[in-house]
Amino acid sequence: MTDDLFARPDPAAPPCPQTGRARFAPGALVSVLTTQPLDRTLDYRAPQAGCAKGDFVEVPLGPRRVLGVVWGAGEGGYDLSRVRPVHRVLDVAPMRDEMRQFLTRAAEYTLTPLPAMLRLATRSPGLGQDVSLRRVYARGAADPDRMTDARARVLAVFDDAPGLSFTMAELAELAGCGASVVRGLVAQGAVEEREAPRDTAYPRLDPDLPGKPLTDDQAPAAAQLTGAVAAGRYGTTMLRGVTGSGKTEVYLEAVAACLRAGRQALVLLPEIALTSEFLSRVEARFGARPAEWHHGVTQTERRRCWKMAAEGGASLVVGARSALFLPFRDLGLIVVDEEHDTSYKQEDGVLYSARDMAVLRASLASAQVVLASATPSLETWANVESGKYRALTLHSRFGDRAMPDMRAIDMRAEDVPPGRWVSPTLRALIADRLEKGEQSLLFLNRRGYAPVTICRACGGMIGCDHCDARMVEHRFLKRLVCHQCGETRPIPAACPSCDVEGKLAPVGPGVERMAEEATALFPEARVEVLSSDMYTSARALKARIEAIAAGDADIVVGTQLVAKGHNFPLLTLVGVIDADLGLQGSDLRAAERTFQLMRQVAGRAGRAERPGAAWLQTFQPDHPVIRAILKGDEDGFWAAEAAERRAAGVPPYGRMAGIVLSSPDVQAVFDLGNRMARADAPLRRVGARLYGPAPAPIARIRGRHRVRLLVKADKSAPLQAALAEWLAQIRIKGDIRLSVDIDPQSFY
Ligand code: ADP
Ligand code: ZN
């Protein structure tokens, strides 16, 4: 598809003596890679002051101006009088060669067109804006004479981000108030107005402030990592240890080594709700807060972070997976925390695994990668096994806290009335915790009130009009929601199929329904639901999590949101409502995911001085996965899982690619799928096998019919090249979309 882009030789232009980058004299032909969905670079003339390879530029394209990067010398070979000049060179650090290689290799690996990769690498608003002063607001010394709700919200924004200042627009958005409220506070000296230069460097982090004294378990692991970082070469290390064993303390030492070496570090977290706890730990360790990069930070901060990564004014960035595409000047370390987490795989837009891309980026930057997890992915285990990655293990929880005791509740022997899910055994355990003033967590990985709404008159279920999916009742929102496309509608009084009123009934439990049951069982208890859809902002969610951690609830009902790294010191009981849930379905990684999730959720219990217990409600206590979870036999589980996947020739011991075709026209997608299947010679040449076309497991989303083809190949097969050759012969007509997912994580 875009092979010609990769294959183009470096430009013949002479390198600039100062920068080593090829320079182009005014009027010289240059090729520019733009962020526009084109399958080639475009030629322009270098501007008045000339330009150099890697410069970010604005170029005219039709009536518009678009962002691009000077990629090399122009091609020529056509009417040169029509070539337009580059509009201007942007005042940002040019793209470094290493970044260009990273984007090129990542594009090749994921079969993504290079312009889409460049879009990922320039996802920062206002790169073209000139540096100038702007008006910002910070917390002043005085308190207002009179406190109103709006004023309190403004001041809370400052309390939340000590030392930061905001523009008026940001404040208004974060506090949900008008400019007049802020001006009132300025008049009283409670808020200060000042002129600040844009895009300043972040405060210096001090690696030589004392860290916590490490335990005998932690110190050797930290020494290995700091040694590797100091050596300044590429390497990847799996850092394994149960939740609470001090992985974060250990990798912060690697960050310290990286800072000492004067290089930049990047820490990726799977969930932005986790960042604030982590930022505080960084501040405690290094004396200042690092740069932050995710969709929850303001546009101004994002641009500052992008520019400072490029100029070296950000020595540590904490962020979401897209932070991998920041233009670091000298990246020495990437930490992927909770590396097994599925959110690291981008499932829409560009399909890439942040874990794999971190390894690629580090290998090009001579940087170290740390993959931290209590339950590493099988991919990572396999790479340790084959000697590609090193392994470090922390064996015990910090402070000799035991891993929670894990037990099964055999639901076949429990007497649970219809429409209820808490077994008598679990109920007694919760009652015991309530008496002791400790917290319990009821875990159910299902948002909403009930997964299915059925009509007792006609037997019909309410489905989404646009998707092959059921509408899920969310009582809290008072609406039915499609979890595929997000469509919502009011809960109807009458069945949409038969028009009979009052016969719609929920079937099965969601977290909201579990909360209802918990309240019915324990009317005095404070019951709280933690589910992503219950909060309007990451800030509100974070505030609730902190309150709960401080003891502001007795029973927490949560989805997998709670499984991820939050600290609840008073929590001593985890009750898994349905441990069998994840084992259903045909997903290749069902066993792995269930194992990881159950171990992760159990890890929430007993983090402080009180020992914890995790109880799993299951109808199949003898299922091998359930038994492995209960025994805590990680090595045994991974060995068995690996043997099964090796025998089946599936990842990580074989290669796969998923191709999904979608269109409003069902015939058109099947026709195309069949044509692709007949044209599979390039795949067969490398020994790859093609399965399908078949309807995708979710056969319709947002009104588009979906057809799937699956390609399987040996581990050593040159899969990308074969796929590229195969796809290059396919002409797509009409409103059909084709997406390629290399190493798919889920099949939907
Ligand atoms: P993990 O990342 O493996 O879940 P953490 O690094 O978050 O573990 O450690 C769990 C808790 O134990 C944290 O509150 C941390 O501050 C504390 N802790 C870990 N190691 C030490 C240590 N050597 N000294 C003091 N506290 C520690
Ligand atoms: Zn839908």
- CA–CA gap between residue 415 and residue 422 (Å, rounded): 10
Would you say 745 and 587 are in contact if contact means Cβ atoms under 8 Å apart? Answer: no
- CA–CA gap between residue 546 and residue 531 (Å, rounded): 15
Same domain, 704 and 605: no
Within-domain flag for 682: yes
Would you say 236 and 335 are in contact if contact means Cβ atoms under 8 Å apart? Answer: no
Within-domain flag for 388: yes
- Provide the residue range defining the domain that includes 332: 218-394
Of ligand 1's listed atoms, the one at least distance from the Cα of 213 is 23
- CA–CA gap between residue 83 and residue 29 (Å, rounded): 8
- CA–CA gap between residue 287 and residue 210 (Å, rounded): 10
**Ligand 2 center to residue 55 CA distance, Å?**
43
**Ligand 2 center to residue 486 CA distance, Å?**
6
Of ligand 1's listed atoms, the one at least distance from the Cα of 218 is 23
In this structure, which ligand is nearest to the CA of 248?
Answer: 1
What pLDDT score was predicted for residue 129? Answer: 66
For 298-333, give one letter per residue: b (16+ CB within 10 A) or e: bebbbbbbbbbbbeebbbbbbbbbbbbbbbbbbbbb
HSE at residue 307, side-chain half, CA atoms within 13 A, is 21
| Closest residue CA from atom 9 of ligand 1 | 246
| Closest residue CA from atom 20 of ligand 1 | 246
Which CATH number fits the domain that encloses residue 553? 3.40.50.300
Same domain, 51 and 93: yes
End-to-end CA distance of the chain: 25
- CA–CA gap between residue 612 and residue 405 (Å, rounded): 7
Within-domain flag for 458: no
Task: Please name the residue that has the structure tokens 């269930």.
Answer: 594
Q: Which of 248, 335, 370, 599 maximizes ligand 1 atoms within 8 Å of its Cβ, making it the mutation to test the pocket?
A: 248
**Ligand 2 center to residue 151 CA distance, Å?**
40
Same domain, 47 and 143: no
Same domain, 225 and 187: no
Cα separations in angstroms, 117 against 102, 331, 346, 706, 719 = 10, 19, 13, 25, 20
- CA–CA gap between residue 373 and residue 548 (Å, rounded): 24
Which CATH number fits the domain that encloses residue 81? 3.40.1440.60
In this structure, which ligand is nearest to the CA of 701?
Answer: 2
Same domain, 380 and 297: yes
Same domain, 156 and 236: no
Of ligand 1's listed atoms, the one at least distance from the Cα of 394 is 3
Concatenating the DSSP letter of every residue in 311-359 gives: HT--SEEEE-GGGGGS--SSEEEEEEETTT-GGGB--SSS--BHHHHHH
Same domain, 661 and 712: yes
- CA–CA gap between residue 587 and residue 593 (Å, rounded): 10
Quick check: CB of 248 below 6 Å from ligand 1? yes
What pLDDT score was predicted for residue 10? Answer: 41
pLDDT-flagged residues of the chain (< 50)? 1-12
- CA–CA gap between residue 279 and residue 259 (Å, rounded): 16
Longest dimension (CA), the chain: 85
Amino acid at 137: Y
Cα separations in angstroms, 119 against 208, 366, 632 = 38, 24, 43
**Ligand 2 center to residue 609 CA distance, Å?**
46
Same domain, 106 and 74: yes
Cα separations in angstroms, 224 against 227, 236, 263 = 5, 12, 18
**Ligand 2 center to residue 665 CA distance, Å?**
17
Choosing from 394, 417, 436, the residue where a domain stops is 394
Within-domain flag for 127: no
Within-domain flag for 571: yes
Within-domain flag for 7: yes
Q: Which of 222, 194, 195 is nearest to 207 (CA)?
A: 222
**Alpha helices, H only, 84-213:** 97-110, 114-121, 149-160, 168-175, 179-187
Phi, psi (deg, nearest 5) at residue 580? -85, -15
Q: Using only the alpha carbons of the chain, give its radius of gyration.
A: 28
In this structure, which ligand is nearest to the CA of 600?
Answer: 1
- CA–CA gap between residue 292 and residue 310 (Å, rounded): 14
**Ligand 1 center to residue 337 CA distance, Å?**
14
Structural tokens at position 429: 């355990």
Contacts of 473 (CB under 8 A, 6+ apart): 448, 449, 450, 453, 480, 481, 491, 506, 510
Cα separations in angstroms, 12 against 22, 30, 47 = 8, 11, 18
For 555-571, give one letter per residue: b (16+ CB within 10 A) or e: bbbbbbbbbbbbebebb
Quick check: CB of 566 below 6 Å from ligand 1? no
What pLDDT score was predicted for residue 133? Answer: 59
Quick check: CB of 243 below 6 Å from ligand 1? yes
Of ligand 1's listed atoms, the one at least distance from the Cα of 243 is 4
Within-domain flag for 497: no
Contacts of 153 (CB under 8 A, 6+ apart): 175, 176, 177
| Closest residue CA from atom 26 of ligand 1 | 212
In this structure, which ligand is nearest to the CA of 472?
Answer: 2
**Ligand 2 center to residue 517 CA distance, Å?**
28
Taking each helix axis from N to C end, the angle separating 247-260 and 218-231, rounded to the nearest 10 degrees, works out to: 30
Per residue, the 3-state secondary structure of 154-172, as one string, reads HHHHHHHCCCCCECHHHHH
What pLDDT score was predicted for residue 538? Answer: 67
Structural tokens at position 417: 């009335």
**Ligand 2 center to residue 317 CA distance, Å?**
36
Concatenating the DSSP letter of every residue in 196-257 gives: EESSPPPPPP-TTS--PPPPTTHHHHHHHHHHHHHHT--EEEEEEE-TTSSHHHHHHHHHHH
Would you say 252 and 285 are in contact if contact means Cβ atoms under 8 Å apart? Answer: yes
**Ligand 2 center to residue 659 CA distance, Å?**
21
Beta bridge partners of 561: none
In this structure, which ligand is nearest to the CA of 394?
Answer: 1
Which CATH number fits the domain that encloses residue 733? 3.30.70.600
Contacts of 685 (CB under 8 A, 6+ apart): 722
Choosing from 197, 229, 250, the residue where a domain stops is 197
180: exposed, middle or buried (Cβ count in 10 Å: 0-12, 13-18, 19+): exposed
| Closest residue CA from atom 11 of ligand 1 | 244
3-state secondary structure of 450: strand
Of ligand 1's listed atoms, the one at least distance from the Cα of 241 is 3
Same domain, 114 and 245: no
Same domain, 430 and 556: yes
| Closest residue CA from atom 15 of ligand 1 | 246
- CA–CA gap between residue 19 and residue 328 (Å, rounded): 17
Same domain, 168 and 301: no
Q: Do you know the residue count of the chain?
A: 748
Same domain, 545 and 587: yes
Contacts of 201 (CB under 8 A, 6+ apart): 308, 311, 313, 314
| Closest residue CA from atom 10 of ligand 1 | 244
* pTM reported for the whole predicted model: 0.81
Choosing from 617, 641, 665, the residue where a domain stops is 641
Within-domain flag for 267: yes
What pLDDT score was predicted for residue 15? Answer: 62
**Ligand 1 center to residue 177 CA distance, Å?**
39
Quick check: CB of 247 below 6 Å from ligand 1? yes
**Ligand 2 center to residue 449 CA distance, Å?**
17
Per the structure, the count of domains in the chain is 5
645's enclosing H/E stretch is helix 634-648
Quick check: CB of 245 below 6 Å from ligand 1? yes
- The strand pair at 488-490 and 504-507 is best described as unpaired
